[in-house]
Structure 1
Amino acid sequence: MTFLTRASLANRAIVCLITLAVAAFGLIAMSSLRQELMPSITQPGAYISVDSTGLSPDQMVDLATEPVEDALNGVSGLTSITSTTTTGSAQVAVTWPFELDADETLRAIKAAVDGVKSALPKDAGVAVQSGSAADIPAMVLSAGSSSDAKVFAESLEQNVLPKVRAVPGVRAATLQGQESQRIEISLRTADVDRLKVDPAAVLSTLQANAEVVSAGQIGSDQGEVAVNVGPGIESVDAIGALPVQIEDGVVLIKDFADVTLKSEPAGSISRVNGKAALTIQVMAAIGANAVDISHGVTAILDESAASLDAEFVPVFDQAPFIEQSIEDLSTEGGLGLLFAVIIIFAFLRSWRSTVIAAVSIPLSLLITMIALLWTDNTLNIFTLAALTIAIGRVVDDSIVVIENINRHAERRVPTVEDIVASVKQVAGAIIASTATTIAVFLPIAFVSGVTGQLFRPFSITVTIALAASLVVALTVVPVLAYLFQSPGARRRAAAQAALAGETSASSDDRHSDAREFARAEMAAPEDRLQRGSMSFLGATHRRPVITLSASVVVLLATFVLATQIPTDFLGESGQQSITVEQKPQASGSVEERLAAAEPVERALKKVEGVESVLSTIPGAAVRAGEKKVNTFEVALEEKAKAAEVQPRIERALAELGEPKTFDVVTASASGADAGIELRVLGNDPKALAGASEALVAVLKKESSVQKVSSDISGEQPVVQVVVDPLKAAALGFDQQQIATAITAALNGTPAGSVVLDGQERDLVVRTADVSGGAEAVAATVLPVTPKQTAAAQKAAMDQLEAEQKQKSEEQRAEAEREVDKQIADTASQRSDLRRQLGGLRAQFGELQASAPVVPEPQSPEQQAAIDAETERQEQIASMASAIEQTEAGIEAADAQLTQLREGQSESAAQQAEADRMAEAQRAAGEVRGTAVRVADVATVTEEMTAPSISRVGGERVATITVTPKDGRLDAASQALDAATAEVELPDGVRYEVGGVAAEQDEAFGQLGLAMLAAIALVLLVMVMTFRNLRQPTILLIAVPFAATGAILGLLLTGTPLGLPALIGLLMLIGIVVTNAIVLLDLVNKLREGGADLDAAVYHGTRLRLRPILMTATATIFALLPMAFGITGGGVFISRPLAIVVIGGLISSTLLTLILVPILYLLLERSRERRMAKRAERRARRENALLENKESGDDDVQIFGGDDDREPAREPEQR
């Protein structure tokens, strides 16, 4: 690799320009990197929600949960399928490995769910969303305004939230706590029954009259004019005045219903510091940047605040903590850089050399920034911790190079060839040491799960920084070493080179002379550091047995003490929140929950260190089965610590009485200190509940447990409606229709919307009083079915036909009676006439018999008088006949007139009857069935049942969550083991541990394998470096001794052993061998130059003392700010890591200077003794052979000579 050094020195100007360009691009990259608290450790997943109104948890499991689970089992790659089922709702959550493509997996999940939709209930609503239903929000803000609350809420919903949802990375943005109103048409049951009102007719009336109907446009003198039909609804009274058709006519809505403007039931009520407030909750998508989201949302809210006359107060925001953590870690890194430079100057005592060595730090880090941007990594506490760790390590190679150049410059002014030769002497060592450290992090790339997600960016950052530092040490440092010489020194060096006739070849020849090199190195004078240290080191080297025995004792004692180190996963992030849960009271009304929350809010606000309290009170619209628990999110003041505030909160709540009604839990924003999950599995609900209760009871007694909770709560009353299928079918109902009707009665049936006072209001029709449990449900009026209507119409038509038949029979009977009467009257008249005729005949006979004799006229006068009398009689008779005829005509006219009048009356009666029958037929066609109640088709009872059903892999599960006290995950795990051993589980019930404990076990196991792989890779690199197995074995034996400092550091500082500490131990594997390689490389070169073993070890240790101490001390001081947590940012990652590395560096430095030389001496002395014995045996064989030849015995053969001579041909140790 010295060709890089030679090329760089030959093109010094180009190297300088490239260095400046890299620095500029590095600064640009640093400002362009996305920021986040830590890489996402949320398991990739999605959840499927299925809502079907009115179904019990058991029914939902059969009809919705199981079909969805079965469909998801066909999606490849899913790691878990869990579900939670409550009344009318099923939530199925799935997860998959980080390595799978999230978009492709989500598409497969949606396809599987779409394929099973036909098997779900008809009214089921299905939604598939990525992420988890329990994700931590990116931001929670309180929104307040002096304007009208309703108008303000609508402005936020319509104008602000759409912009917030459009911010890149925002998955969802919701508004909570708003009070919206709706118009309720509450049916009065008694009036509905009395008037026989069909609720469906009410809905039709509202939907038909709620809005103005556009009928098009018409031309006029003013142009096209819109034609609107109906005035619409402009007031609540107008709704009550709408007509509804019933069987007996038309009634108004107000005649049987109350129309009021009411507030809608809320899912939850939000309050900030005891005052009602609107809450904006922003959820981030998987992999989204919380800082970018915060900045984007804040900009939108700032822009909207003025126009809305609003104030937005952050209740929870990850961005400030992220930015503060990054700033703090950057500060600690800057302090570490300063300390490292001071240490370098203290050792080198030259500002030029210090600047040259120190330049490698920012340059390597800037190169790393470019690589992070190029590989799409973010700037988070892990990558920053890696950069801070690298500050001490990236300077190592440059220190070794510049120290070697300076040491040779003490003898003469270095020329270009001298610098190349100096670099060449250490190039192999620094390349090998850097390669071993990089090899340590290579296995991290293959670690899966949470550990891989967290530390893969860490390992990439360290690897890039180390590789960059190596390149800088081989290129930039030699150039600067040459350029930083004074002009006079450079002229003297050039004159010396010209005078001596030095050339490149002669320089190579001279420096390739191993003996010359060894003599020059060993002749170098001792400085004060060497004189002070070598007396102690020499004493340990001369007493190897005592030194090794003491080392073994320390090692064994350290391993014994290591069992006392507590363990955790990631530790506390520092951004802790305190959550107070108030358990539900006996009553479940919203008013009582609000009343119970008020004293808690006042008590929490008075606690020292509490900045604000966000209260969430479950509202009236909470689903059945969901916990109605008041939750108080306590935001702490900037300098307050959760560990100090929590006891104050507990004391304040205890003063309220009944402290058992409260749970106080601290939680980290990273979610890494979540609780341990104990999953109790079984298919028998009663056995499952019993086992869960027994385990909870035992765990609550453990002092190492902060909180124990189970998702199996006590049974709750459920109104069970068992439909009689025969009765229901007879009336045209099925079970789903009845469930829908009950839901409409309980929650109301949407009937459209109207605009009142400029605001849109929903119309809802509902039963006036639905309280009273099973009795109220049983009394619920069901809508009239088409079958009921058809049956009612058929009954009406049948009744009409019966009436017509009866009327016809009555008319026929009346006609028969009329005919009989006419016949009787006629017969009677005929008899009367016959009697009259006989009397007339008799009278006529008597008249004829007694006719008077008319005397003959005696005179003409008598004749004239007789004739006149006769004529008069004839006239009288004629007139009488005329009168009789006239009277007969009058009688005939009267009879005809009477007949006509009777016909007219009969026709009118027939028409009236026909009209009546037509109206009766029309009314029969409009008849609707009579509404029935639920009790008429079903049995309604009140039963006790589980509020929710949880399943894992198709098996019922009860999840017990154990929150460790003081973050002692190991103690909580031991308590969990003790509890499971104490409680005897019923048959068919088993348990498994999940949550953070399972993640810790998996992570520790994977890192253990990564350490083994790292050791194997380090061994491979060392074998390639030393080209034998002996000396790498020395370093492998020394690795466990290096852990003593790390373990003691954890014990002395009380730091738990978590993932950051394990990564520090992994780094130690590379750090231990780094300095040892530099040391043994020089020892081997001195031996190649002819130095004996003891002298080579002594002078090698002496000459490498300063670079080893300098690199170790620089790294230690660079990490001290992180170890002490001076700024506090990212301390849960950086502090354990720094403590382990510092402790390990101290022990590994002593190991390199004391134990490695001793082991090397013992191994090489043993090897020299074996070689001496082999040489002695070879000499004896050769002497014997010579003697045989001299005696002339040519037939004598020495067997095994080839085998014995083979070791003698082994080349000298390099």
Structure 2
Amino acid sequence: MSMYQLAVRRPVAIGMVFLAIIVFGVFSFTRLPVDLFPEIEAPVITVITTYPGVAAQEIERNVTEELEDVLSTIPNLEEIRSESLDNSSIITLELDWGIDMLEASDDVRDAVSRARQQLPDDIDEPIIQKFDAGAIPIMIFAVTAEESYHELETILDDDLVASLNRVPGVGAVNLFGTPVQEIQVQIDPVQFEAYNLDIDRVSDIIGAENVSVPAGRLDIGVSSYNLRTNTEFADEREIGDVVVAYDEGRAVYLHEVASIRTEYEDETSLSRVNRGRGVAVTINKQSDANTVTVANDLHERLPEIQDRLPDDVEVSVLLDTSEFISGAINNLSSVILYAIMFVILVVFVFLHRWRATIIIAVTIPVSLVMGFIYLALTGSTLNIISLSSLAIALGMVVDDAIVVLENVMKRLEAGDDPSGAAVRGAREVFTAVVASTLTVVAVFLPLTFVSGMMGFWFRELGFIVVVTVVTSTLSALMLTPMLASVLMNHKDDQKKRSRAVQFFVSSFSKGFGALENAYGRAVRWSIRRRKTVIAGALGIFAFTLAMIPVIGTEFMPVSDNNQVQLEAELATGRSLEFTEQVIYELEEIITEEVPELRNMSIRAGGTGMGGANPVYQINGNLQLVTLDERDRSVFEIAEVLRERVEKVPEINHLQIEAGGGGAGSPRPIEVNIIGRDFEQTGVIANNLIDSMRTIEGVRDPRRSRGDDRPEFELNLDREKLAGSGLNSASVSNIVRGTMDGLVATQFRRDGHEYDVLVRYRDEDRHSLTSLEQVSVMTPDGRQVRVSDLGHINEVMTPPNIERFNRERFVSVTAGLHDRPLSDAVDDIRDQISQMDIPDDVEIEYGGDIEGQEEGFSGLLLVLVLSLVLVYIVMAGQFESFRDPLVIMFSIPFSFTGVFLALLITGTSLSVIGMLGAVILVGIVVKNAIVLIDYIRLLQGQGMKVFDSIIEAGKMRLRPVLMTTLTTVLAMFPLALALGEGAEMWQPMAISVIGGLSFSTLITLGLIPVMYAIFHRKRIAAE
């Protein structure tokens, strides 16, 4: 017994099965966490090594190169990048996708251990970090204050951080930019020398006196007591009372040679929020938490926290990633709802029966909820990839039901009873339905084999579409016949129609009947003029090839995520006070030019990954109101802002980025210049930047290596050091401690810890003379000045040194506005070809240029594999080699429609657009399969080949047009790209709409002709 016979005979049982699927699907949907993208474990491991007080070139030679030598031998290594900065080395390892990252981390840890003996003894232990998407904050609060500004760290620790940590799903809360108190021990160098002291020794003494350690046990009678030695400092006075030396039997106290006071750390950064001084509070969620739920709970907690804070302390939301996520998810949900409405409308217009429309409509929720079940079973999230996958599948899930129900209705109109019509109608199209579904599977399954980050996205997309389409096929072959046998009676709907509806139905039926007859005549004419039709088809295909160079290409569309990023660099060496004045000017410009501004944060200096940012570098983040609240896009706002900021004379380098939130980069252009010589690669990079500024659409070209900056270099005389019993390391430590200070211990007060910093007084450490006068104690107790051990030179050094696969390089990156990436890259290649590049310098392209090449090559491989699999499926289903070839002729002309649609809409061909072209392979053949299958069915009933072609064309015209319209209209809301995150899928929707529409016209005209050509001998014999 076939599945459709079983469904018709047991309607209640089958109905309950599909009802259970819907219930389980709805239950799964309510439990799905919401996020922007699927959780991705990127195969990236970073090794960070800190070496305080050492310049970038020394870091490269003594740390980075040593580590690279061993790290380059680990298994599954794809590429290795490094950046050597002052005080730190950052090495990034990119491994093969899909490997066990725990095992890879162990391999890296073992390699670092092997290299440890070659590294300097006084470096900090290397830190090994795996890429963690959870390390990216989901929210950032801005806290501003006036009188309470300097107490913010204590206030926020007590009243904000603790409260936020109690919110379910919050993983970590961190403060950035808060003024930090410390206990400063400011040494008088004259007194120090008088008592023959040095900073290392005093720092050790202070640390040794501030302890609380176990001292054993004491048994007294039958009782036993723990002993503890507790000499922790209770206040600053006790620190000053520490004995640091003896002078002729008299104790010398610390307060005699230094002043002890509570101060704030030296200001090396400036943080401003909404034109006031402020700090940032970042919130990270737990890995399994729902981003939107956590953000909503944080918003609810905020008023309660605000009430507990001092009146002048104000907390505001600086960044909330859940807004973009919610906007994107809601937008896609609306897209799906609109698509469902369009699909139902098309079905009703063509079938003009409410019962038939309801039967088709039931297929939609049954299929879609199976996608939710799949997400729940695989532990995935509800994100823009999964929802977009459902939107893509939506137009296809009703195709099979339309084909089945349309044929059932023909059997009803022919006089069959509902049960007989349901069984016979399903049987006649069974082969076509199964074959068309298998072709969709043959296209989407290969997507799951794409490698890299795109592979993770395509994998979820491929599996969800396959699951929903297979479910829709089962529904079409079981639920649709069952419902048709119960609900359908070709006279019932007619009895209840109003005159207006009856007039519409009658007019539509007459009009469509005339269209069928006209189409039949057109097919007859085409078959008799086969050469003319083939020549026209070849001309169209030649036109397709000619369009390819005209359409620009790009990697991925960039989304309007309501943010603009600004980075401005002043002249090297500018002070924080000078930078602050420039920030005031920038704030004025931004306020004037961006009325859509919601929040603004600007920062100079501070610490980043691996080291400190220079105080002459300004970083700004502008958070705008949502897209539906403004008339301008972030890209337009960025252009206007750039025109004003470029005129600020103090800014040497400017970089303004708009948008993000997807795989595409706001700075898609990256040219890597690989060479050992700093000066040589620097000149080439500067020349390239000058050339790129003249290229249309290119914005803010900038090189990755900063300008050389002045540095004082202390050159020690090894002979003099040896004569004094000293070495370079010990003298360097003394100098560093004198200038920057040494943290001797931590002082506890009121539940908070403060560093105790030992260093010279401010007036004794801000000149070259002060540096030269620093005293170093020799092992025999003598004091030797630094000036007696060496000399000081001023040199120019690079602030950072980058390496790629163990070779030095410098990259030039740039943004792009209103121009295809391929066109800009062609111009850049032309400019580089005119430059004099030495033989020992290589030019390579990275960023979106590299991503585009990898994405296109991966999808091209999928396309070829899909074509082969589609042919194999059809050949096996039809038991024929020729008929599948006829069907395959519909595919090339879908690409014509793709290129035409992209050209008309001014859209570049991106990886997502090409994905649409690949998807079309599985969609366009469905119409041809329906047509060819019916031709074969009629021939099996004894009809002649020529007549079967004409008759099948007329009989299958309605389902072909219906399935085409449902898919096209389902994609239409995506193509409009209205709302957050919609830009990402717009090229794919445009590709599918254009390709399917054009291919349908070609299918209806060319496929009958090609079938006649392949069977011309039989036609001639008849």
Same fold (TM over 0.5): yes
Deviations along 1:164-210, one digit per CA (max 9) or x if unpaired, are 67989878653111001112222222333345444455435544665
Q: What is the match of residue 706 of structure 1?
A: 699
Q: Report whether the alignment pairs 1:612 with 2:599.
A: yes
Counterpart of 2:529, as a letter, is R
Q: What is the match of residue 565 of structure 1?
A: 551
Larger Cα-atom Rg: 1
Q: What is the match of residue 175 of structure 1?
A: 175
Deviations along 1:106-141, one digit per CA (max 9) or x if unpaired, are 222122223322332222112111128998643322
Output the CA distance in 2 between the equivalents of 1:461 and 1:122. Answer: 54
Which structure dedicates a bigger proportion of its chain to helix? 1
Counterpart of 1:631, as a letter, is N
Q: Report whether the alignment pairs 1:454 with 2:457.
A: yes
Matches within 5 A, 1:957-996: 957-966=809-818, 968-996=820-848
**Structure 1 pair 122/661, CA: closer, same or farther in 2 (3 Å)?**
closer
SS of residue in 1 equivalent to 2:319: strand
Q: Report whether the alignment pairs 1:429 with 2:432.
A: yes
Q: Are 1:212 and 1:232, in contact at CA under 8 Å, matched by a contact in 2? A: no
SS of residue in 2 equivalent to 1:962: strand
Q: How far does residue 1101 in structure 1 lie from its aligned partner after superposition?
A: 0.2
Q: What is the match of residue 940 of structure 2?
A: 1088
Q: Report whether the alignment pairs 1:599 with 2:582.
A: no
Which range moves more in the overlay, 141-150 or 373-382?
141-150
Q: What is the match of residue 570 of structure 2?
A: 584
**Structure 1 pair 754/77, CA: closer, same or farther in 2 (3 Å)?**
same
| Selected match of 2:740 from 723, 738, 747 | 747
Q: Report whether the alignment pairs 1:761 with 2:762.
A: no
Output the CA distance in 2 between the equivalents of 1:86 and 1:1032. Answer: 62
Q: How far does residue 648 in structure 1 lie from its aligned partner after superposition?
A: 2.9
Q: What is the match of residue 736 of structure 1?
A: 729
Q: Report whether the alignment pairs 1:531 with 2:525.
A: no
Output the CA distance in 2 between the equivalents of 1:114 and 1:139. Answer: 37
**Structure 1 pair 132/948, CA: closer, same or farther in 2 (3 Å)?**
farther
Output the CA distance in 1 between the equivalents of 2:264 and 2:948. Answer: 91
Q: What is the match of residue 773 of structure 2?
A: 779
| Selected match of 1:1159 from 986, 1010, 1015 | 1010
Q: What is the match of residue 264 of structure 1?
A: 265
Matches within 5 A, 1:929-1078: 929-966=781-818, 968-1078=820-930
Q: How far does residue 535 in structure 1 lie from its aligned partner after superposition?
A: 4.1
Output the CA distance in 1 between the equivalents of 2:582 and 2:515. Answer: 72
**Structure 1 pair 284/675, CA: closer, same or farther in 2 (3 Å)?**
farther
Output the CA distance in 1 between the equivalents of 2:818 and 2:286. Answer: 31
SS of residue in 1 equivalent to 2:128: strand
Which range moves more in the overlay, 581-590 or 125-134?
125-134
Q: Are 1:68 and 1:116, in contact at CA under 8 Å, matched by a contact in 2? A: yes
Output the CA distance in 2 between the equivalents of 1:620 and 1:168. Answer: 30
| Selected match of 1:632 from 620, 639, 653 | 620
Q: Are 1:324 and 1:1129, in contact at CA under 8 Å, matched by a contact in 2? A: yes
Matches within 5 A, 1:362-377: 362-377=365-380
Structure 1 gaps, min length 5: 491-523, 789-928, 1173-1214
Q: What is the match of residue 24 of structure 2?
A: 25
Q: How far does residue 976 in structure 1 lie from its aligned partner after superposition?
A: 2.6
SS of residue in 1 equivalent to 2:380: coil
Counterpart of 1:939, as a letter, is H
Q: How far does residue 949 in structure 1 lie from its aligned partner after superposition?
A: 1.5
**Structure 1 pair 1112/771, CA: closer, same or farther in 2 (3 Å)?**
same
Q: What is the match of residue 498 of structure 2?
A: none
Q: How far does residue 252 in structure 1 lie from its aligned partner after superposition?
A: 4.5
Q: Are 1:53 and 1:740, in contact at CA under 8 Å, matched by a contact in 2? A: no
Matches within 5 A, 1:1140-1159: 1140-1159=991-1010
Number of aligned positions between the proteins? 991
SS of residue in 2 equivalent to 1:358: helix
Counterpart of 2:537, as a letter, is S
Q: What is the match of residue 56 of structure 2?
A: 57
Counterpart of 1:581, as a letter, is E
Q: What is the match of residue 501 of structure 2?
A: none
Q: How far does residue 1049 in structure 1 lie from its aligned partner after superposition?
A: 0.9
**Structure 1 pair 159/486, CA: closer, same or farther in 2 (3 Å)?**
same
Q: Report whether the alignment pairs 1:697 with 2:690.
A: yes
Q: What is the match of residue 14 of structure 2?
A: 15
Output the CA distance in 1 between the equivalents of 2:973 and 2:332. Answer: 9
Which structure dedicates a bigger proportion of its chain to strand? 2
Q: What is the match of residue 504 of structure 2?
A: none
Q: How far does residue 246 in structure 1 lie from its aligned partner after superposition?
A: 4.5
SS of residue in 1 equivalent to 2:398: helix
Output the CA distance in 2 between the equivalents of 1:663 and 1:226. Answer: 62
Output the CA distance in 1 between the equivalents of 2:889 and 2:688. Answer: 46
Counterpart of 2:926, as a letter, is T
**Structure 1 pair 171/773, CA: closer, same or farther in 2 (3 Å)?**
farther
Q: Are 2:152 and 2:178, in contact at CA under 8 Å, matched by a contact in 1? A: no
Output the CA distance in 2 between the equivalents of 1:287 and 1:225. Answer: 44
Q: Are 1:625 and 1:947, in contact at CA under 8 Å, matched by a contact in 2? A: no
SS of residue in 1 equivalent to 2:710: strand
Output the CA distance in 1 between the equivalents of 2:243 and 2:378. Answer: 71
Deviations along 1:1157-1193, one digit per CA (max 9) or x if unpaired, are 1111122114655x79xxxxxxxxxxxxxxxxxxxxx
Q: What is the match of residue 869 of structure 1?
A: none
Q: Are 1:142 and 1:313, in contact at CA under 8 Å, matched by a contact in 2? A: yes
Q: Are 1:577 and 1:669, in contact at CA under 8 Å, matched by a contact in 2? A: no
Deviations along 1:468-510, one digit per CA (max 9) or x if unpaired, are 11000011011100111469989xxxxxxxxxxxxxxxxxxxx
Output the CA distance in 1 between the equivalents of 2:226 and 2:1008. Answer: 105
**Structure 1 pair 246/694, CA: closer, same or farther in 2 (3 Å)?**
farther
Q: Are 1:722 and 1:940, in contact at CA under 8 Å, matched by a contact in 2? A: yes
SS of residue in 2 equivalent to 1:429: helix
Q: What is the match of residue 805 of structure 1?
A: none
**Structure 1 pair 385/210, CA: closer, same or farther in 2 (3 Å)?**
closer
Deviations along 1:1124-1153, one digit per CA (max 9) or x if unpaired, are 23x424322332121111111211211221
Q: How far does residue 659 in structure 1 lie from its aligned partner after superposition?
A: 6.6
Deviations along 1:303-361, one digit per CA (max 9) or x if unpaired, are 65555567542222222111211111111111111111011011111111111111111
Q: How far does residue 299 in structure 1 lie from its aligned partner after superposition?
A: 6.5
Output the CA distance in 2 between the equivalents of 1:150 and 1:53. Answer: 27
Q: What is the match of residue 338 of structure 2?
A: 335
Q: What is the match of residue 976 of structure 2?
A: 1124
Q: What is the match of residue 673 of structure 2?
A: 680
The Cα RMSD (Å) is 3.4
Q: How far does residue 774 in structure 1 lie from its aligned partner after superposition?
A: 4.7
Q: How far does residue 259 in structure 1 lie from its aligned partner after superposition?
A: 3.2
Matches within 5 A, 1:126-137: 126-131=126-131, 137=137
SS of residue in 2 equivalent to 1:966: coil
Q: Are 1:590 and 1:619, in contact at CA under 8 Å, matched by a contact in 2? A: no
Q: What is the match of residue 797 of structure 1?
A: none
Output the CA distance in 2 between the equivalents of 1:563 and 1:286. Answer: 45
Structure 2 gaps, min length 5: 494-509
Identity of aligned residues (%): 26
Output the CA distance in 1 between the equivalents of 2:800 and 2:227. Answer: 55
Q: How far does residue 362 in structure 1 lie from its aligned partner after superposition?
A: 1.3
**Structure 1 pair 1076/986, CA: closer, same or farther in 2 (3 Å)?**
same
Matches within 5 A, 1:392-407: 392-407=395-410
Q: Are 1:160 and 1:300, in contact at CA under 8 Å, matched by a contact in 2? A: no
Q: Are 1:385 and 1:1133, in contact at CA under 8 Å, matched by a contact in 2? A: no
**Structure 1 pair 246/593, CA: closer, same or farther in 2 (3 Å)?**
farther
**Structure 1 pair 487/945, CA: closer, same or farther in 2 (3 Å)?**
closer
Q: What is the match of residue 477 of structure 2?
A: 474
Q: Are 1:182 and 1:762, in contact at CA under 8 Å, matched by a contact in 2? A: yes
Normalising by structure 1, report the TM-score.
0.76
Deviations along 1:388-415, one digit per CA (max 9) or x if unpaired, are 1221111010001011111110122425
Q: What is the match of residue 924 of structure 1?
A: none
SS of residue in 1 equivalent to 2:747: strand
